[in-house]
Amino acid sequence: MTEKYVYIESYAHAESLGIKPIDSIINAVIDVKACQKGNYLIVGCSQGHTFIHKEPFRDIANKTFIAEFQDNEIEIYAKNLTIAKIILSHDYNPGTKIILWLKHYTLIEDIEV
């Protein structure tokens, strides 16, 4: 296995990579080497992904991308654009036209209430 980041499709897929599976990494993109050492590092997931907070993982998917497909939008949480594309390649069929936006957060006002 030469890929640094992999989309984990199932428990069997994780085990085939030498990773002890936990619920939080299924249907997410992980750092393979970190997970093989037991440091579960999630670098990307789709909107609606479920994390089990009792499990030992770290989520560093710190950017929000908006994927537009026909009249739908879905948020992708990823460390970078490459990882967002890995997620989209698993969520959509090849050849699907998708517009991808990086969501920016702008501070409007810092207030105290």
User: Are both 81 and 46 inside the same structural domain?
Assistant: no
Asked if residue 27 is part of any domain, the answer here is: yes
User: Are both 77 and 46 inside the same structural domain?
Assistant: no
User: Are both 46 and 81 inside the same structural domain?
Assistant: no
What total number of domains does the chain contain? 2
Q: Quote the CA–CA distance of 8 and 107 in Å, as a whole number.
A: 35
Q: Domain containing 86: what range?
A: 63-102
Q: Is the pLDDT of residue 12 over 80?
A: yes
Asked if residue 108 is part of any domain, the answer here is: no
Asked if residue 18 is part of any domain, the answer here is: yes
Q: What is the pLDDT of residues 59-102, one digit of tens each?
A: 888 899 998 888 888 999 999 999 999 999 998 888 888 888 88
Q: Quote the CA–CA distance of 104 and 81 in Å, as a whole number.
A: 14
Return the SS3 of 61: coil
